[in-house]
A and B are shown apart, each in its own frame.
Chain A
């Protein structure tokens, strides 16, 4: 048996143990408080087979998350580059960065709801504001990691800019940006859910809120499974990109 198969077996055993313990506790508990694994499995299948779930919950949340993430990257990368090139600009931008990094996510979300009425833009702005500093810092750190001697040599030998970016700057840059992207996607989904949960905007967060309000615990667990699967899928996809620390 290969090491990969042995790991897979260990993973399956771990899952089996967890599900077995869950089933035993579920036998002693009200289904409204802890539904059995099979009930949750049925609820998951029912959700995934429901076109309204895809169009009314999953798609809006993922699109908003993508919008917020794109905005965070679009703002964070230039700010990181500018900050790297000028200490004075970095100092000028530091208060905003510290504010966005330090403010608790629920408070920022509540403020955005107040300022933008709640809805799609509230989610996009919340995700963007909370993730922008991650990309700003990652870009600045990535550029700092570029080896100045190799970069200088490339300049001396008049290596074309495209090749210099590809072979000298990008590898160092990506070692910081890649992991930031992985963290950003997972956190982006979390912030999206939080904002939808607080603002009542339709989406996965609203579905979670509704399941909790109506004590549809099987549906709540099913939603958690779907969200975990989404995070795992995004993480696995990003881990395949070179320079993102695939095994982490």
Chain B
């Protein structure tokens, strides 16, 4: 009885809850690592644990197996999985100026026609980098000669070996390449090309924060957004966080310094993400599972 009274006075202990966070070695993952380091909801019994995913298949398995998972995923993959019947919620999308670059030798690329006749190394055929470039060059399909690779490091090596003139690389690899080879330069920010070619104002929102937690969790979303905002104010700080989990990732905080990351919370920013999907759908509908995401994808409350 005394114990019961004591509990009433001090409040019932919060139920312990473990949230697994996951992401690839990209800037967008850093806020999740920060959550796992800082444990901002520990007083409410919420523990964050970070475990990186190694491939989209790995992430899909975790989404279906883990009790509570929040992960950074490619935004196209999120829409594709939704179309294929895999349950998930999209909390937000992420975009950033200065995150994806065309790097290499030769003159600057001010618009897609400047790519004409040049060999471009790019990773992951059929995935976001390839589809972005396809969309940029959709008015001139033979604008460049693509050479596909299985990962970003191989893309870098192709340009270094002189097998491709230019490459599509994200930070920090764009910075690493420019630092390694004096004859290399950043030729174009893909975001700028995208804006010019699509008339969309936002950079391509390539990342998405997805979760398999069915209920609304404003507490978790607020914690993520706070971590994101803190890092977005000093993007170079992400390098140390990422290095703590991905020791093989080149440590180049400088590469992140010029980035301007934006968290596009949903459903408030649904038009931005929907417009991006529409652009990709216009050239590769199969990348989204053959259909554009419905309203519930952006806002589960609209169901």
A114 touches B154 (CB 8 A): yes
B218 at the interface (CB under 8 A from A): no
A148 at the interface (CB under 8 A from B): no
Contacting residues, chain A, for B148 (C-beta < 8 A): 118, 199-200
B163 touches A114 (CB 8 A): yes
Residue of A nearest to B123 (CB): A200
Interface string of A181-203 (1 = CB under 8 A from B): 00000000000000000111000
Interface string of A92-131 (1 = CB under 8 A from B): 0000000000000000001001111111000000000000
Contacting residues, chain B, for A200 (C-beta < 8 A): 125, 146-149
A210 touches B81 (CB 8 A): no
Once A110-B154, A117-B147 are accepted as A-B contacts, the answer to whether A214 and B80 lie under 8 Å apart by CB is yes
A214 touches B147 (CB 8 A): no
A61 to chain B, nearest CB (A): 16
A32 at the interface (CB under 8 A from B): yes
Size of the chain A interface, CB-CB below 8 angstroms: 21
A51 at the interface (CB under 8 A from B): no
B126 touches A114 (CB 8 A): no
B113 to chain A, nearest CB (A): 23
A212 to chain B, nearest CB (A): 8
A209 at the interface (CB under 8 A from B): yes
Contacting residues, chain A, for B125 (C-beta < 8 A): 200, 206, 209-210, 213
Residue of B nearest to A210 (CB): B126
B201 at the interface (CB under 8 A from A): no
Question: Could you tell me the distance between the alpha carbons of A209 and B124 in the complex, rounded to whole angstroms?
Answer: 10
Contacting residues, chain A, for B146 (C-beta < 8 A): 200
Contacting residues, chain A, for B150 (C-beta < 8 A): 110, 198
Question: Could you tell me the distance between the alpha carbons of A110 and B150 in the complex, rounded to whole angstroms?
Answer: 9
Once A209-B126, A214-B80, A214-B287 are accepted as A-B contacts, the answer to whether A113 and B154 lie under 8 Å apart by CB is yes
B164 at the interface (CB under 8 A from A): yes
Question: Could you tell me the distance between the alpha carbons of A215 and B56 in the complex, rounded to whole angstroms?
Answer: 10
Contact with B127, one of A31, A113, A116, A213 (Cβ below 8 angstroms):
A213
A30 at the interface (CB under 8 A from B): yes
A32 touches B126 (CB 8 A): no
Interface residues of B (CB under 8 A from A): 80-81, 84-86, 119, 124-127, 146-150, 154, 157-158, 161, 163-164, 286-287, 289
Enumerate 9 A-B pairs (CB-CB under 8 Å) in ascending A order. A30-B84, A114-B154, A114-B163, A117-B147, A199-B148, A209-B125, A210-B126, A214-B289, A215-B289
